[in-house]
Structure 1
Amino acid sequence: MTLSALLFDKDGTLFDFAQTWNGWALGMLTELAGEDTGRLGAMAEAVRYDLTERAFRPDSLVIAGTNDEVAEVLSPHVPQMSEADLEQYLIRTAGEAELAQAVPLAPFLSDLRASGLKLGVMTNDGAHSAQRHLTRSGVYDHFDMVIGADSGFGAKPDPDPLLAFCSHLGVAPDATAMVGDSRHDLIAGRAAGMRTIGVLTGLARAEDLADLADVVLPNIGHIPDWLAQA
């Protein structure tokens, strides 16, 4: 098998989902709720966040959803903001979240580029947040293209943004692998005609991804060895 390109999801793939987003979510929900504990509980339930465990549940919309989808479910509990303002609040605060890299990204991505692979990111987060996170991590320039759910190509599990990446870089879908931690990522990859690589740095278990993945790896750091053996 010869691949020309790797297209990565962001949250749960390049960045460990729980270590990055559990703490951010608690701060975000607490700030929006103010002193209203009832509202806090209602918002946490809306996004399937366990206040006792301080962690997202595996069925949370936030794992693979877009900012506008998250704002839509939170909006009934945040009367002080319009849904559009709430979406912007989510984008702004998420852009400053403490990021936990799944592996040291700069050397990992440098080695992939040195091997001749084209690299991209397709996230259901917004493009601004994605650029901010990758820039703060010192790796934005390692990618040939970064696509968000608001970049005009659609969102996963639709394959269109994945195919836009291939078209932009002139690589064939069947010479590209979609790398992600959720079924949304892998469904999109399969629909685009790509190889699919599942990773376990999100909240999904190996058995949740196995039927959609060519391989399920502990984290992205195992990709080079898999490529060498495949």
Structure 2
Amino acid sequence: MFTRRSLIGGSIVGGLTWPWLRASAETASAGVTDSEIILGMSAAFSGPSRGLGIELYRGAWAYFEHVNRAGGISGRRITLKLYDDGYQPDASVNNTMKLMLEDQVFLLFGYVGTPTVTRVLPLLKKFQDEDVFLFFPFTGAQPQRQPPYGEFAFNLRASYAQETAGLVENFVQVGRRRIGVFYQADAYGRSGWAGVRAALAGHGERIAGEATYRRGTQFTATMRGQVELL
């Protein structure tokens, strides 16, 4: 039987190739037909962060097309249902509801951003009977890596905690122990801030100074006030 739950026992091989999708489809799951497997993606395709969504989509789609040209997954083409959320949490939630309840995709894929993903995770838990999973979200936040949401997401990238720990470790090694944090004022920025704080604590240090900027701020905007704080 070709079901979402069967993914749990599978292994990820070759980056974005899922050999467990080659199972028999005598009883098709939602999002799977005789000719295609439909994935759903909500990402920033407009706004200041559009580059993240566009480039992630282009890279993933290049590989999906490679798989499709080679015959697809058991003869089924991979297709992507796309929605633009502009990196906005409310839009991402609305898009996810459409993908799950109206489009009935097989799984969610390639979401972009911590503010958006952290708002979507409770939906996956709420609709857990539908067995909808999120694969490879472009965020290093912690919520999708631990209970109660960890079982609904499959991560590819490192966590912010791992990344900031590496940064702090290298700064300390070259003698830079007074570290300030300039971060985005949302879940994404706070995750990075928390990672730096934890890493510094491991070296007996504290954050030397901090300042924030609003999500969506243009690079042309003045940051004089934040610079003076730091």
TM-score by length of 2: 0.33
Q: Which has the larger radius of gyration?
A: 2
TM-score by length of 1: 0.33
Q: Report the structure, 1 or 2, having the larger helix content.
A: 1
